[in-house]
Chains A and B, each alone.
Chain A
Amino acid sequence: MGRLRWLPRDGWSGVALAIHLVIAFLLVYPLARLFTASFIGEGGGISLENYVQFFRYRYYRGSVWNSFQVSSLVTLGALVVGVPLAFLVTRFDIPGKAIVRTLAVLPLLSPPFIGAYSWILLMGRSGYLMTLLQAWGIHLPTIYGMHGIVLSLTLNLYPFVFLIVSGALMAVDRGLEEAGQSLGSSPLRTFFTVTLPVTLPSVLAGALLVFLSAFAEFGSPMIIGEGYTVLPTLIYSLFINELGGNPTMASTASSVLVLCCTAVLLLQRWYSRRKVIQMSSLARPEVQRLRPVARTLVTGAVYLVVAVSLLPSLVILIISFFKSRGPVLYPEFSLDNYANIFFSVPRAILNSFFLSGLSSALDVLVGTLLGYILIRRPSPVTTVLDSVVMLPYAIPGTVIGVAYIVAFNRPPLLLTGTFLILVLAYFVRRLPYSVRASAAILQQIDPNVEEASVSLGVPPLRSFFKITARLMAPGIIAGGILTWVQTITEISSTIFLFFGAWATMTVIIYRQVISSNFGSAAAASSLLLLVVFLPLLVWNLWAEEKAMVLT
C-alpha cells in the first residue's frame, strides 16, 4: 500500500505537481508582496517593528480579541442551528424537502451590503420589528454591536453546517445505525453514539468554514458594528481608505489574520484526524416516516428556523417593490425600482452566471483532486499546501482584488481589464470550499475499495474517478453548490477587477448602494436571489426524486 503512494508512474504525482504550480502562480505569487510588506521596517530593512506596533496599540490589538469572540460564538450558534436541522431534514419525511433545502441555502446569499442593512431596517432603533414589538411592550436589544453581529452572522452562515452535514448524513452507512438500534439503543442515543461520531469530520469541516467565514467577514461588522472593530474591518479601514490609510499596517493585520486562521485550521485538522471513523457506505440511510403529531412538530421547527434566517431576504424582497424617490422609500407598491435597473440587468446576469459557472467548475475539479491528495497522499509538502490553499478564505476579498491588480497588470501577465482575472480571482477565493468539502467526505470513505481496484490493475487515477469520486459525489456536490453560491454573490474583489462590460449583478447592487438608491439595490438583490434560487430548486427537486428511486 505504502509502496503504491509515490511510485513515479502513479498519475497522482503529475496531478499534484500541476496543482502546486497553479497555486504558486495564482496564490503565492500575487500575495507574497502583501506579506513581505509587513516585515519591512520604517528604515527599509527587515524588521518586526510593525508587529510590535500592532500588539502594542490597543486600536489594533483589540480587534483580534473581538474577532475571536465573534467567530467562536457564531460557530457555536451555527452548529446548534445547522446540525439538528440537517438531521431532521435528511432523516424524516418532512413535506417540501426540496424547498427547505433550497431555502436553507439562501441565507448564504445575503446580498452584499444590503443584507446587513435589512437587519437595521428590521431591528435597528426604529426598525419595523422593533417598533412592532415595542407596541406590544416587548423591548429587545437592537441589532447594533457585538451580539447583533453574532446573530446576523449565525443566521447567515449556518447553511455551511447544514449543507455539509446533510451530505455526510446521506453518506452514512445504514447498517451502522441499524446495528445500534437493534442493540437496543434509543434513536437519540444512536444519533449521539453512532451518527454524530461518524459524521464528525463533516461537522468539523462545516464548523471550520463558519469560523473562518465569520473571522474574515467585514460587511456585517462594518454596517451594524457602530465602531466595534474586528480584524477584517480594521484591515479594510487601513487598506481601503479615502485618506490613504496605512497599507503597511494593513498587511501586518492581514498576516495576523492569516496566522490566526491557520492556527484554527491546524487545530481543526489535528482534532478531526483523531476522530475519523471510516466506512464503506453502500447502503444509504432510510427516510423515516413520523407519526402525524411528531411530523407536525418537526416540520414546524424546521420551517421556523429557515423562515427566521430568511427574514433579511424577505425585507429586501418587500422593499424592492416600494416606491422610491431618490434614496427615500415609500411603502406603496411600485415596479419603478425594477424599471430603473432593467437595462443593465440582462447582461449582468449573463456575466454573473458565466463567471461564477466557469470558476466554480474549475474549483470543483481542482478541489476534488486536491482534497484527495491532502487526505490520501499526505506528506510534509501537502500539509503546507493545505494551509496555503485555505489562505484566500481568511484574506479579505478586497486585499486579494488589489493584489491581483498589482500582480497581473504588466505584460506578459496582463490580465487586468479582461474577464479572465475575475474568473481566476473567484477560483482562488472559493477553492477552499471544494477542497474542504471533498476532504471531509473522503475522511469518512474507506480507502479499501479503491485500493482493491488499483491492486487489480486499474490505474490509480482511473480507479479514483470510477470508484472514489462516485462515493464522494454527495460531498463534492455540496461543495460545488457552496462554491457557486458564494461566487455569484462575490463583490469585494469584483469591485476592483471588473471592467467595461463585465459588470456582474453584485456590481449593479453595489452601484445602487453607493448612490444610496436602496430600492434599486433591493430590486437587483431580489433578482439575484431569484436567479440563484431557481436552479438550486430544480436541482434539489431532481436530487430528491433520484434519491427516492434509490431507496
Chain B
Amino acid sequence: MRRWWRWGVGILGVVALAAIPAMALAGAADHEGTVVLYTASQSDLVQAIVPLFEKKTGIKVQAVESGTSEIIKRAQAEKDNPLGDVFWGVGAEVLDAHKALLEPYAPAELDKVHPSYRKSPTWVPNNVTPMVIVYNKKMVSESEKPKAWKDLADPKWKGKIAFAAADRSGSAYIQLATILSIYGDNAAGWKVVEDIMKNVKVLPSSSKVPNGVKDGEYAIGLSYEDIVGRFISGGAPIGAIYPTDGTAIPPDANAVIKGAKHPKAARLLVDFLLSKEVMTLLAEKFSLRSSRTDVISPPGLPDLKDIRAINYDFNWAADNKDRLIKQWRDLMLKLGG
C-alpha cells in the first residue's frame, strides 16, 4: 500500500513539474499551444504547410484530413462542443452554406485579397480556381474538342461527359450556376442545361471527374483548374479548356470555427495560411492561384487576364441554391426515365 502511495505522489509531482512551465509558456506566447485543423486539402499540401507553421510558432497542429462534406458534417455534429478550430481549403460556397458554424474573423492582411473574392465576414478567401472543361487527348482531337460550355450540348457527346452531382458537390453546383449565369436562369438557359445534361453521366464527387477522364471512362468532364492541373502534372493525357463563353473563378476559403477551444492559435493559423509566404509557396510548388493581389501567378498556368471570366454573382448562387438544386434534380429525373 505505502509503495503505491509513494509512486502516486512521484508521478503527480513529475506531471506538475512538467505542466507548470508548459502552461506558463502557453500563456506567455499568447496562444494555446495546439490547434486542431479540419482540412479538405490534399494530403501533400497538408504535409508541406503544417510543419512550417509548427516551426514558426511552436504551436502543435492536429490535422483531421477528410473530404469536404465529411469534415463539414463532423463540425456540424460537434457544434455544441466543438473539437475543431480551423477549416482550411474548403470551397467558399460550402463554408457559406454553413455560416452558422463559423466565427467571423478578418485577418490583418485581408486587404491584400482581391475585393471580388471578399463576400462574407465569416470566411477568408484562400486560393482561387477557374471552372474548366477537361478532356481526354487520346479520345478527343484538338479540332473536335469543345470550346465553350454550350458545345457540351452537342448530341455527339451523349454518354461521354462526366459531371459531379450538382446537388452534392460544391464545384458542380458552381458549374451549373455558371451556365445559368451565362445563358439566363430562364427557359432558354435551362434548355442549354437540359441539352448538356442529356449527355452526362453523374458521378458522386468532383474528384471522380478528372480521374474518370484520365482513365478513358469519359471523353470530357466538367471540372476545375486546380484538380485537373494535378493530373496533368502527373503526366495524364488530359487537357483543360477555358470555356470561351466565360467561366467562374470562385475561391476556396479558410475560417475559424465558432466556439473553437484554441481561438488564439486558430487565428494565428488563419493568418499564416493567408500569408504571402505560404501563398507564394502554394503557387510555386502546387500551381495554386492565390486570392491575394501581390502573389505571383503560378508558372505554367494561363494568366487570369487571358481567361474570360464572367461576373459570377456569388450571393445570387447562394440565395437560389435550394431552387436551382430542385430544378436540376427534377430535370435529371425527367431525363432518366
Contacts and interface: CB of A to CB of B under 8 A. Distances in A.
* Mutual binders A and B: yes
Interface in B132-178: 165, 167-170, 173
A292 interface: no
A327 B127 CA distance: 21
A223 B91 CA distance: 22
Given A223-B204, A242-B169, A328-B231, A496 B77 contact: yes
Contact of B207 (A125, A500, A514): A514
B217 A511 contact: no
A227 B163 CA distance: 10
B164 to A, nearest CB: 10
Contacts of A243: 93-94, 97, 167-170, 173, 321, 325
Contact of B73 (A58, A222, A240, A515): A240
B333 A59 contact: yes
Interface centre among A121, A124, A126, A414 (most CB of B within 10 A): A126
A120 to B, nearest CB: 7
B168 A327 contact: no
Contacts of A499: 62, 64, 83
Contacts of A222: 204
B212 to A, nearest CB: 8
A208 B211 CA distance: 36
Contact of A517 (B43, B201, B321): B43
A416 B321 CA distance: 33
Contacts of A516: 207, 210-211, 227, 230-231
A125 B162 CA distance: 13
Contacts of B217: 120, 124-126
Q: Categorize the interface residue count of chain A.
A: 35 or more
A500 B170 contact: no
A405 B64 CA distance: 15
A240 B69 contact: yes
B231 A495 contact: no
Contacts of B168: 237, 241-243, 245
Interface centre among A227, A416, A500 (most CB of B within 10 A): A227
A510 B64 CA distance: 12
Interface string A224-260: 0011000001000101111111000000000000000
A409 interface: yes
B285 interface: no
Contact of A512 (B43, B68, B330): B43
Contact of A410 (B40, B81, B211): B81
Nearest to B218: A125
B336 interface: yes
Contact of A409 (B44, B80, B208): B80
A326 B233 contact: yes
A516 B201 CA distance: 20
A241 B234 contact: no
B223 to A, nearest CB: 12
Interface residues of B, number: 59
Given A126-B215, A325-B234, A417-B83, A242 B77 contact: no
Interface string A504-515: 000000111011
Interface in B56-90: 62, 64-70, 72-74, 77-78, 80-81, 83
A237 B165 contact: yes
Contacts of A417: 83
Interface string A403-429: 001100110001011000000000000
B329 interface: yes
B333 A58 contact: yes
Contacts of B268: none
Contacts of B208: 223
Contacts of B298: none
B234 A326 contact: yes
Nearest to A239: B73
Contact of A242 (B69, B74, B78, B202): B69
26 contacts: A59-B330, A120-B212, A125-B217, A227-B201, A227-B332, A239-B73, A240-B70, A242-B68, A242-B97, A242-B168, A243-B93, A243-B167, A243-B169, A244-B321, A324-B234, A327-B211, A327-B231, A405-B77, A409-B78, A414-B81, A495-B66, A495-B67, A511-B65, A514-B67, A515-B44, A516-B207
Given A59-B333, A499-B62, 16 more contacts: A120-B212, A227-B165, A227-B202, A240-B70, A240-B73, A242-B94, A243-B168, A243-B169, A325-B233, A405-B77, A409-B77, A414-B81, A417-B83, A495-B66, A500-B62, A511-B65
Of all A-B residue pairs in the complex, the 8 with the closest CB atoms, nearest first, are A126-B216, A326-B234, A328-B234, A405-B77, A227-B202, A325-B234, A242-B170, A515-B43
